[in-house]
Amino acid sequence: MYVKVSMDGAPYLRKIDLKVYKGYSDLLKALEYMFKLTVGLYSERDGCKYAPTYEDKDGDWMLVGDVPWEMFMLSCKRMRIMKGSEAKG
Q: How high is the pLDDT of residue 57?
A: 94
Q: What pLDDT, on a 0 to 100 scale, did the predictor assign at position 62? A: 93
In this prediction, residue 60 carries a pLDDT of 95
Query: How far is CA 59 from each of CA 24, 66, 77, rounded to the nearest angstrom?
Result: 21, 15, 8
The reported pLDDT for the residue numbered 12 is 86
Segments of the chain scoring below 70 in pLDDT? 40-47, 85, 87-89
Amino acid at 73: M
Q: pTM for the complete prediction? A: 0.84
* CA–CA distance, 45 with 51 (Å, rounded to integer): 7
